[in-house]
Structure 1
Amino acid sequence: FTQMGFSQLRALSPEGRCRPLDQRGQGLLVGEGAGVLLLKRLEDAISAGDRVWGVIRGSGLSNDRSGGLLAPSGEGQLRAMRSAYRSAGWSPQDIDYIECHATGTPVGDATELRSLMSLWEAGAWRPGQCALGSVKACIGHTLTAAGAAGVIKVLLAMDRGEIPGLPGHDTPPDGIDLNDSPFRIPHRSETWPRRSGQSRRAAVSAFGFGGINAHILIEEAPTTTENTRVTVPGWPARPSRIAIIGLGAIAGRHQGIDAVAQALLGHSCTAPGEQMPGDMGIPTTRWAREARLVFPAGESCGRLRGSPVELRIPPTELSRMLPQQLALLQVSREALACTSLAQLGDRGGLFVGLGIDPRSSLSHLRWMIPHRARAWLRELGIDAKDSDIEHWISALKDEVSEPLDANRVMGSLGSIAASRVARDLQAGGAAHTISADEVSGFRAMEMAIRALQDHQLDVALAAAADVGLDILTRTLDARDRRPPRVDAAVAVVLKRLEDVSPDDGPVIATIDGIGSACSGELARPESNSEARISSRAAALAEASLDLSGIDLFCSEESSTSVEPLAGRPGWQVTLPPEYAS
């Protein structure tokens, strides 16, 4: 899917070579790899005697607020870069080397170089003082691993005292003149001297589809452990309480937070059930009967619809989107409409919990059918005319999936979901999709809360969607004897409680503590596992509570996990006034 998708997006290099920061660059080359970095507070690493490869001194995250999802925005890149330098207390001129995102695409590389020139124009510099490079010239674009590869390259360069050259580079992109700029592109490795009284310093950029921008500042490891000073923000004794000021929801036939709230309170619903997505006849096949599969019905949210004019999405692009993206747009808009905010703004960000929609794999099935269909005919002993076989294969492919095109690629990428919502709500801060299976939504909420408590953002939206009643998911559920599903999507708007003003609208609830823990195992942890106990303990500790202060425990865990709360008085749910009756 990656290769075919990039091909449809016209992003691949036709010559099969990646030439970043080069006028000959025609596109990227997909690479494969993994990068792992172990992080530790510097003072703890030094105390433990760990080898320190480098120190992260600052970082900045942003999302483009304008332009197309495939067109990079220099303005968004600059916001991420400037945020990083503010957090480190550095100026751009303190940097000796920049590991660029540069993928070899003409527009992307030129935009990045112009962003760097704009970043440096306000300060004093000498021509060619800062070297540029990109690891993609060596290993291609490793996509989600590309940022880690860039950081590892910088750490190795610092350790060896060499600024790496850019293999195969000729001249900068058209319209870019580096001769009268602070930058140079080394064609071979150079000695990396230390400035007087300063360690080696570098920056790494990573820019993703949809306008996600990241910039990180790295300093080489301290040469001595004596008199090492570590500057950290002055954290409050207790993290800020977080206010929920907006809600949006879809759950099956219940469209909107009011309808969902009524359903949760047990009130009857007069809305008719929605039709299930197409099943391709799978439940009635001989294979399903022989496997004795019982397909759970579930409750579908039906065919979600949106106005291209209202959503500012071209009709063809809108029709190619998977339903989870449209569901996220709807609940996020509803959540923001609960507040007085017109947009999330430069200091607003969002975090989306989302799994991979199995329907994105139907393109693979379409591509496999020509080969597999002929094999099926041979296995069944069916002899048919070539023209009939070709007609059957063509019809079968179209039944499975429409041909892949650029709009369908963008409508299938989970990472695009957050950027699409960020564009819609004008969020200029961090905007990420988090995929962590059934806890994706919780992780999105946790990241939003921490970003607010760390003052990285002033307002945050956390959202999650699972529109999973497609026949692929239902078949797996039938095989695993899982209970029926409900299509659902939820969004909440969050602010630090102390920052909420009367103009923001009513505070629906506050989040006083949140906790998470990893079991270190692939198997689903037991209800009273160490990981679940630790996560509950962390949330209680942050809220300065113990179990005796909890009135209601809502959980999908088995009843054994809530036994410590059994029999306690005052179990209740506190709802907004309009639902209390």
Structure 2
Amino acid sequence: MALVGGVSYCHSDTLVLFSQARSLSATGSCPWDDKADGLVVGEGVVMFLLCSLEHARTHKLPIRAVVRSCSLASDGRGKSLWSPRREGQVLAMRRAHDQLRDGVPLQYVEAHATSTALGDATEAEAMTEVFPGLTPGNKKIPIGSVKANIGHTLETAGAAGILKAILAIENKTIPPVANCRNLSGDINWADAPFRLPQKAEHWERVSFRVPRRVAVNAFGIGGLNSHIVLDEWVSEESDQLVNRISPVAVSQETKDRCFHRPEEPIAIVGVENVLPGALAYESFCRLVLTDDDPKSEIPRERWDKDKFCRTDDTSAGRSPVARGGIISGFEYDWRRHKVPPKQIAQASPLQFMILDAVDRAIIGFGKEKHFDQLRNRTGVVAGTMFGGEFSTQLQMGLRLPWFQSMLVHAAMERGLGAEVARNLAEEFQQQCLKNMPALLDETGSFTASSLASRITKSFDLHGGGVAIDAGILAAPASLMCCVDQLRSGDNDAMICIAAHQDMSINRFDAMHKLGLLSERTGAAPFDKKSAGSFPAEGCGVFILRRLSDACKSNEPILGIIRGVGAGTDSISWRASASASARGLQDSDMEPDEVDAFSWLGSGIPSVDRHEMEGLARTYGFGERKLPRPITTPLARFGHLAAAAGLPPLLQGLEAVRSGKQPHVFGLSSLGDMATAHQWLVEPTKNNPTQIETAGNKPVVAVHLGDGKDSAFHVVMQGYSEIGLQGSDESSLLSGLQKPPTILIDRTLESMEKVSMQERDSVARSGEKKFQRPMHFDATERRRSRMKENASKPQVPQAHSPGVVQETQPIERKVTNGAAVYSSPKEAPQAVEDAVRYSLDELSTFLTNFVVEQTGYPPEIVELDADLEADLGIDSIKKAQLFGEIGEYFSIPPRTDLSLDEFPTLRHVLDFLAIETKTSSKTSPSVLQEADARLNESSKSSARQNGSPQSQNYKEFQDEERISSLATVEKTYTHTELAEFLVTFVVEQTGYPSDIVELDADLEADLGIDSIKKAQLFGEIGEYFSIPPRADLSLDAFPTLQHVLDFLVEATCSSQVASDVYEAEFTNSEPDSAGLFADSLSRDSFSSTTNGVAEAVSSSKRSTSHSVEELSSFLTNFVVEQTGYPPDIVELDADLEADLGIDSIKKAQLFGEIGEYFSIPPRADLSLDEFPTLRHVLEFLVRETAA
């Protein structure tokens, strides 16, 4: 049996963090209602007792419901932490229902529905895609959400939904939806395959022999999705449904997944680590064969040992020692996976240690040859502790108001004036956030699941992801979960992570008070001087496959996991005995077949004695000669807390690979605990010790206990290559006895598996250069170019608190009489007539926005990169971008536009170019091409989002384009508009301006999310005096190019200074009801690098902006928000996925655009219409020209 459930507690910290993410509602929880504006946090406990159906029937237990199927899926790459993707939700639901195909219709769905407009609409789209064909007679299926009743209970939310579904079955009642009076206009209710019951309805069965069936959605932060299907239990009908799967309906692929031997061995096909003194697995293997000690003194930047290290002080926050397993020499290169530098400075360093290790493990496994084909069925399990050093820093940030209040009070008590005291408190806050920036983190590091979602998003994985906190046994617990998912057929590959990062004085103090750390600490657990262990930090990863699949694909098999056992008992030795017995049973092996042991231990003899007693109860019998060799890495590396099981697992893997056992580091003379059990195990003293094997390949048991009530036992075996013939499982297992494969490659070519620091060191030695792998996996070509062009920024080391780098202002420059500024604040209020923006200037504006928002260098911000997926510019950042565009280029708000219509910077640039009438030597047809492209983008957005706004575009254009041209007083060159946008990106992201490309997706490439995009448009509106546009949506501006196009048109930017151009632009008719009829060509934007600001009659224009200016504005926003250098902020990069500009930052962008460019608010726009800086730029171009 199993006890399963959820526990959540609502506290002030949760409210602060969700409020900072702008996810809370001030009015209430009302899913599906048109006034839904956020969630309401709830709390509670829900528990279920589960057992097999056979067990329940045998023992005549009350069966409340039957779990028919459940599934996991992840969104993969494309959105920021807070933005859901329909694709991942669809995948989770389909996987669950594909397991059934038994003819029983789905009759009720308990939806996730959090009462956020975006979340509810996304889930509705997913259900619309999945439900047809699952409902009885294709009738509309009733749906509901318990969050309307009790709020969002976070960790308990899914369990609460299941509980409500079970109650509905038992009461034969379809429950009504609470707090829904006016249906959301974002959902096409008329055509949807579901409905909202407004009152309780009696629930009749479809037929006598068909049970009631419900489904429950649970979608977590970071795009981690689950779906479960429950049936009513009625014995006579349900008897016929047990294992009833249609052999015709179920695909062969599904059959293959569902039928695997429960005890099938699991192959380890990839491994990497970041540990003290060993930043790579091969370094680890070399280190354990030496007498080197990787531990070191605590560096001053972590904490000052002179203040905190006092043996005679027992007060809080003190430690007798200042030594431990410190990660030194590790520095994550943000270019490798294009992470905004500001994110690295503010997020948990553990995320990027893991990201680096996983990346190298995938390379060692074979990224293109093997891994890329498995993404859809690869899951992630991260074993960690929900806390650590990041949480400590976060607590400091959350309590800053209290600290400041106490500081002001203390200062005034000492005679300081009130103003001086307040200034002192403000300076304290700045210094605190500078050294402990956790409160500024935008990646969700306060949720442990971010460690898993970081991997699923970075590598575009769709097999689901979870984080597990099993205390110091998190590593083997996560390993067991991975093995279970592979054996059940839920996934084809698993990434198993063990990680912990906490070397704060808090941890040292806690270990000291628990008796685990003292001034005598240092000796190995078997030594007579053993007295605890030093704290340590680090992470590691295993890539796992079913052995049969790995053999069929001829994959590099490093070792085999034969079985994993777990035991729990209030008496420690019983837990160890139970775990080891179950581990052997799961591996189908006898105790005599185990050749050696790898053990963790605690360094406390009284605790370790119990674990040895448990092993003796399992291995102390049989005919095998005793003792057997045992080793432990505890004294060498220290205790890694949640990742404590990682070094023993790595040592066990190396032992089965090489047949040699490393010695026990820190062992001088055996203590009483060792001598009492020397008949059973013998600590290895020679380095290395050859393992005597009972079979042809060594078998090593890795034993891990917490010293209290729980233990795990992992049985590993060496592997011999047997080729591709092993489709028969028996032949695969028999092949384990064949000669070993040479697995260790110490040539320079193998260094792709070594850490970036070691690889760079070898490369610098001049022996041989390395060909670095591409790091921009969604758009390899662009990322490669970004990498080549970018200059290496100064990024703080991942293990130490980061300092946010200030964005350097761009100097004023004059191009053909047109002034170009990188920041709205630098732009003059009055400029001479005839000033326009060139395409280059608009592009620079957008690139700078991405750079500011993400921290990307400008040279890697490309116009065609997806704003969200490639650049990290989410809907909020995209909205911010349009705000800045409106302000900077004086483009009025557009109610006919949506953020979704601007997925890249190029879309924004196109928009900017039209709105500002760019002054580049490009033919008038450029505008027609851009408008046509925007038309298509608008129609596509309308098709995808069901938005009716695009139908109003044509009417708006016909009226607005002609009328606006007569009132514009200033023009901007294309370069000025582009520079405006680029500057915005630079400010928002920290990217250097030279990598902010107009075609980079604002959200995906540049990190400009919907909030930042909204901020951009706010700045655009203010700066360029562009009134609000109710017809625009942020989604219409996915790239800087789109924003730039908008800016060009909005500011009447002089793409060409001629009457012919005027006539072409003014009189052109749109082909369809798109966004604009005369957008600029993306190709022309990309190729126009020297836009010319040509004079135009002051009677016609004197206040419009060039595309370059608009683009620069956007780029600067991204740079500010993310820390990206401006040169990598591309207009076409996805704002959220690529640039880290999420919906909050996108909204901030549009706010700044509106303020800076005097663009009035647009009620008809959606942040989703501006996925890239280009979309925002296109909006800016048009608005600044209007």
Is 2:516 the partner of 1:484?
no
Structure 1: how far apart are the matches of 2:309 and 2:89?
55
Counterpart in the other structure of 1:471: 505
| RCO comparison, higher one (Cα < 8 Å, 6+) | 1
How far residue 373 of structure 1 moved from its aligned partner, in angstroms, is 6.5
Structure 1 pair 107–406 and aligned structure 2 pair: CA distance change class (3 A) = farther
Structure 1 counterpart SS, 2:567: coil
Structure 2: how far apart are the matches of 1:290 and 1:380?
28
Counterpart in the other structure of 2:353: 327
403-412 or 167-176: bigger deviation: 403-412
Structure 2: how far apart are the matches of 1:164 and 1:336?
47
Deviations 1:332-379 (A, max 9, x none): 112111112343411111111011224324333344354467668989
Is 2:239 the partner of 1:239?
no
Aligned pair partner of 2:127 in 96, 99, 116: 116
Of all paired residues, the percent bearing the same amino acid is 24
Deviations 1:125-164 (A, max 9, x none): 7675310100000000001100000000011111111110
Deviations 1:170-198 (A, max 9, x none): 23322312223321101111111111121
Q: 8 Å contact 2:443–2:450 — kept in the other structure?
A: no
Structure 1: how far apart are the matches of 2:353 and 2:279?
10
Aligned pair partner of 1:88 in 90, 93, 100: 100
Structure 1 pair 304–398 and aligned structure 2 pair: CA distance change class (3 A) = farther
Is 2:575 the partner of 1:553?
no
Structure 1 pair 274–128 and aligned structure 2 pair: CA distance change class (3 A) = farther
If the length of structure 2 is used for normalisation, what is the TM-score? 0.45
Q: 8 Å contact 2:142–2:197 — kept in the other structure?
A: yes
Q: 8 Å contact 1:74–1:114 — kept in the other structure?
A: yes
Structure 2: how far apart are the matches of 1:148 and 1:206?
9
How far residue 549 of structure 1 moved from its aligned partner, in angstroms, is 1.4
Is 2:538 the partner of 1:495?
no
Aligned pairs for 1:354-369 within 5 A: 354-355=384-385, 356-369=387-400
Aligned pairs for 1:194-233 within 5 A: 194-196=205-207, 197-222=209-234, 227=239, 230-231=242-243
How far residue 539 of structure 1 moved from its aligned partner, in angstroms, is 0.7
Q: 8 Å contact 1:276–1:302 — kept in the other structure?
A: no
Q: 8 Å contact 2:394–2:439 — kept in the other structure?
A: no
Counterpart in the other structure of 2:77: 66
Structure 1 counterpart SS, 2:114: coil
Counterpart of 1:134, as a letter, is S
Is 2:194 the partner of 1:162?
no
Counterpart of 1:475, as a letter, is D
Aligned pair partner of 2:480 in 439, 443, 446: 446
How far residue 230 of structure 1 moved from its aligned partner, in angstroms, is 2.4
Aligned pairs for 1:342-357 within 5 A: 342-343=371-372, 344-355=374-385, 356-357=387-388
Aligned pair partner of 2:274 in 250, 268, 272: 250
Counterpart of 2:384, as a letter, is L
Aligned pair partner of 1:575 in 633, 652, 657: 657
Counterpart in the other structure of 2:321: 295
Structure 1 counterpart SS, 2:596: coil
Structure 2: how far apart are the matches of 1:294 and 1:272?
16
Q: 8 Å contact 1:245–1:504 — kept in the other structure?
A: no
Is 2:362 the partner of 1:336?
yes
**CA RMSD for the aligned pairs?**
3.1
Q: 8 Å contact 2:302–2:503 — kept in the other structure?
A: no
Structure 1 pair 493–81 and aligned structure 2 pair: CA distance change class (3 A) = same
Aligned residues: 572
Counterpart of 2:548, as a letter, is E
How far residue 423 of structure 1 moved from its aligned partner, in angstroms, is 1.7
Q: 8 Å contact 1:460–1:493 — kept in the other structure?
A: yes
Structure 1 counterpart SS, 2:99: helix
How far residue 474 of structure 1 moved from its aligned partner, in angstroms, is 2.4
Structure 2 counterpart SS, 1:410: coil
Is 2:457 the partner of 1:423?
yes
Aligned pair partner of 2:583 in 528, 532, 539: 539
501-510 or 375-384: bigger deviation: 375-384
Structure 1: how far apart are the matches of 2:129 and 2:312?
65
Q: 8 Å contact 1:359–1:472 — kept in the other structure?
A: no
223-232 or 174-183: bigger deviation: 223-232
How far residue 254 of structure 1 moved from its aligned partner, in angstroms, is 1.5
293-302 or 222-231: bigger deviation: 222-231
Counterpart in the other structure of 2:1002: none
404-413 or 479-488: bigger deviation: 404-413
Counterpart in the other structure of 1:317: 343
Structure 2: how far apart are the matches of 1:71 and 1:463?
24
Q: 8 Å contact 1:349–1:457 — kept in the other structure?
A: yes
Deviations 1:509-537 (A, max 9, x none): 10111101223x5xxx52x1x22211110
Counterpart of 2:128, as a letter, is M
Is 2:57 the partner of 1:13?
no
Structure 1: how far apart are the matches of 2:335 and 2:233?
53
Q: 8 Å contact 2:140–2:195 — kept in the other structure?
A: yes
324-333 or 292-301: bigger deviation: 292-301
Counterpart of 1:444, as a letter, is S
Aligned pairs for 1:394-413 within 5 A: 394-401=426-433, 402=436, 407-408=441-442, 410-413=444-447
211-220 or 174-183: bigger deviation: 174-183
Counterpart of 1:253, as a letter, is G
Q: 8 Å contact 2:351–2:451 — kept in the other structure?
A: yes
Structure 1 pair 419–367 and aligned structure 2 pair: CA distance change class (3 A) = closer
Counterpart of 2:539, as a letter, is A
Counterpart of 2:542, as a letter, is V
Q: 8 Å contact 1:353–1:443 — kept in the other structure?
A: yes
Counterpart of 1:156, as a letter, is L
Structure 2: how far apart are the matches of 1:438 and 1:549?
28
Structure 1 pair 287–257 and aligned structure 2 pair: CA distance change class (3 A) = closer
Aligned pairs for 1:30-109 within 5 A: 30-68=41-79, 69-90=81-102, 94-109=105-120
Is 2:469 the partner of 1:435?
yes
Deviations 1:201-239 (A, max 9, x none): 111000011110111111112255995652289866651
How far residue 403 of structure 1 moved from its aligned partner, in angstroms, is 6.2
How far residue 266 of structure 1 moved from its aligned partner, in angstroms, is 2.2
Structure 1 pair 122–193 and aligned structure 2 pair: CA distance change class (3 A) = closer
Deviations 1:442-471 (A, max 9, x none): 111001011111111111111111122123
489-498 or 117-126: bigger deviation: 117-126
How far residue 73 of structure 1 moved from its aligned partner, in angstroms, is 1.1
Counterpart of 2:426, as a letter, is S
Question: Which of the pair has more CA radius of gyration?
Answer: 2
Structure 2 counterpart SS, 1:35: strand
How far residue 491 of structure 1 moved from its aligned partner, in angstroms, is 0.5
Counterpart of 2:339, as a letter, is I
Structure 2, unpaired ranges of 5+: 1-12, 245-254, 518-532, 602-607, 631-654, 659-741, 747-1186
Structure 2 counterpart SS, 1:295: coil
Structure 1 pair 342–267 and aligned structure 2 pair: CA distance change class (3 A) = farther
Aligned pair partner of 2:35 in 5, 24, 40: 24
Deviations 1:77-135 (A, max 9, x none): 111111100122256x8111110000011111001001111113467876753101000
Counterpart in the other structure of 2:188: 177
How far residue 251 of structure 1 moved from its aligned partner, in angstroms, is 1.1
Counterpart in the other structure of 1:390: 422
How far residue 488 of structure 1 moved from its aligned partner, in angstroms, is 1.7
Structure 2: how far apart are the matches of 1:433 and 1:141?
20
Is 2:159 the partner of 1:148?
yes
Structure 2: how far apart are the matches of 1:323 and 1:85?
39
If the length of structure 1 is used for normalisation, what is the TM-score? 0.90
Structure 2: how far apart are the matches of 1:287 and 1:507?
49
Counterpart in the other structure of 2:307: 284
Structure 2 counterpart SS, 1:88: coil
Q: 8 Å contact 2:380–2:452 — kept in the other structure?
A: yes
198-207 or 219-228: bigger deviation: 219-228
